[in-house]
């Protein structure tokens, strides 16, 4: 079988960052898939499911209510390897263009207080596996250490 594109990225060189993973055409529309790499693959510990699940609920809620991008959000969800998330947007974008949106999203997570949206048995299949404190901790670290000081090394996949 042909190897899928995401497996061709050298994960030993991949830093924490925000990358364009791929661009797909569906009819006349481009779907841009972003790789939101919160921990460094094969170097940093992976995130636990509680914080990932919380980040997923908060980010998806924020993005799907965004005044500009709500109608462009196709998907926000976790990577199976637990090092980050995927964001799929309708449109042809670069990481640099969407970086302000990602910063807003992670600031929302960092500053969030109250009940986690959708964290009830009626709304979620695993509502009790949430960790808001750790989600906020990861969001703050990702903002301070990666997003606020992003360079090409954090925005363009390594060769």
Decide if 155 is inside a domain. no
Mean pLDDT within 140-147: 98
Proportion of the chain above pLDDT 70, given as a percent:
100
- State the chain's mean pLDDT as an integer: 96
Report the C-alpha gap between 64 and 34 in whole angstroms. 16
In tens, the pLDDT along 4-13 reads 777 888 899 9
The CATH number for 42's domain is 3.30.1360.80
* Radius of gyration of the CA atoms of the chain, in A: 15
In a domain, 156, yes or no: no
In a domain, 2, yes or no: no
Q: In whole angstroms, what is the distance from residue 57 CA to residue 55 CA? A: 6
| Chain centroid to CA 129 | 19
> Residue 84 belongs to what domain range?
10-150
> Is 134 part of any domain?
yes
In a domain, 116, yes or no: yes
- Closest to 19 in 3D by CA, of 85, 103, 101, 95: 95
Residue 53 lies in a domain: yes
Q: What are phi and psi of 67, to 5 degrees?
A: -65, -25
pLDDT of 120 > 80? The answer is yes
6-65 pLDDT tens trace: 788 889 999 999 999 999 999 999 999 999 999 999 999 999 999 999 999 999 999 999
In the predicted model, is pLDDT for residue 1 greater than 80? yes
Q: What is the pLDDT of residue 20?
A: 97
Look at residue 84 and tell me whether its pLDDT is greater than 90.
yes
Residue 4 included in any domain: no
The model's pTM: 0.96
Q: What's the total number of domains in the chain?
A: 1
pLDDT at 7: 82
Identify the weakest region by mean pLDDT among 5-19, 79-93, 125-139: 5-19
Does the residue 157 lie in any domain?
A: no
């Amino acid at each position: 079988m042909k190897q899928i594109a995401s497996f061709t990225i050298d994960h030993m060189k991949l830093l924490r960052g925000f990358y364009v993973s791929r661009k797909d055409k569906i009819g006349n529309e481009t779907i841009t898939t972003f790789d939101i790499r919160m921990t460094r693959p094969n170097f940093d510990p992976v995130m636990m499911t509680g914080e990932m699940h919380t980040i997923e609920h908060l980010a998806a809620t924020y993005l799907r209510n965004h005044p500009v991008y709500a109608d462009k959000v196709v998907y926000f969800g976790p990577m199976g390897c637990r090092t980050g998330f995927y964001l799929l947007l309708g449109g042809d974008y670069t990481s640099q263009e969407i970086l302000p949106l990602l910063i807003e999203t992670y600031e929302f997570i960092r500053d969030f207080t109250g009940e986690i949206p959708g964290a009830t048995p009626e709304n979620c299949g695993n509502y009790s596996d949430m960790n808001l404190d750790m989600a906020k901790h990861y969001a703050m670290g990702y903002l301070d250490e990666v997003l606020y000081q992003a360079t090409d090394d954090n925005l363009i996949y390594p060769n």
